[in-house]
Chain A
């Protein structure tokens, strides 16, 4: 089946560092990619939706300058957490879709820990 690869799976870094997370669709072209944040024992919160070649659409309350999203190709989207702080520590999950009505396929997530 469709596979989405997310990298890195875990990152630990100091406060103030910028962290980039990659999301790749391995066997299909992802016209749309989604970025979610999951807090402990809570559901997934959609952060933003990105379509290849255009600016990402952010959900209300998500800081665009804090969470930079780039979707430069049909197989790769990146999320950069800029100047990360401990409150940014979370589990970030991406998903990709080849086009409606195909379902979203999820990556395995990235555990981000900011010290």
Chain B
């Protein structure tokens, strides 16, 4: 079945460092890809998304490009801040035989940014 694989954390960086969180997927068809962020004690917030190959999603300085040839959707940010500390989830949504389009999540990657 469809699945998402994320790099294991935690990822610990100093403020202003470059961030990459790897995400690869396995899916039939052409899924949509997402990055969600979860701050401590809260639910998930959509960070960015891409719906087709070569699309780049971006938001709040974060970017991810839908790479069909490598089945990847790596999350990047050029300069992280302490406030970016959170758990980041990569997810995909495909056609599962109906209108449901449920999300399949990776295991999440904890990012800790130190001042």
Contact = CB atoms under 8 A, between A and B. Distances in A.
Interface of A: 4, 6, 32, 34, 41-44, 46, 49, 57, 93, 95, 97, 99-101, 103-109, 111
B103 A104 contact: yes
6 contacts: A46-B102, A101-B51, A103-B46, A103-B49, A104-B46, A109-B41
B20 interface: no
A55 B58 CA distance: 37
Q: Is the interface of A mostly helix, strand, loop or mixed?
A: strand
Contacts of A42: 107-108
Interface residues of B, number: 22
B26 interface: no
B105 interface: yes
A38 B106 CA distance: 12
Contacts of B101: 97, 100-101
B42 A108 contact: yes
Nearest to B96: A49
A46 B103 CA distance: 8
Contacts of B107: 42-43
A43 B105 contact: yes
B73 interface: no
A112 B46 CA distance: 24
B18 to A, nearest CB: 25
**CB-based closest 6 A-B pairs:** A106-B43, A106-B44, A108-B43, A43-B107, A43-B105, A109-B43
Contacts of B102: 34, 46, 49
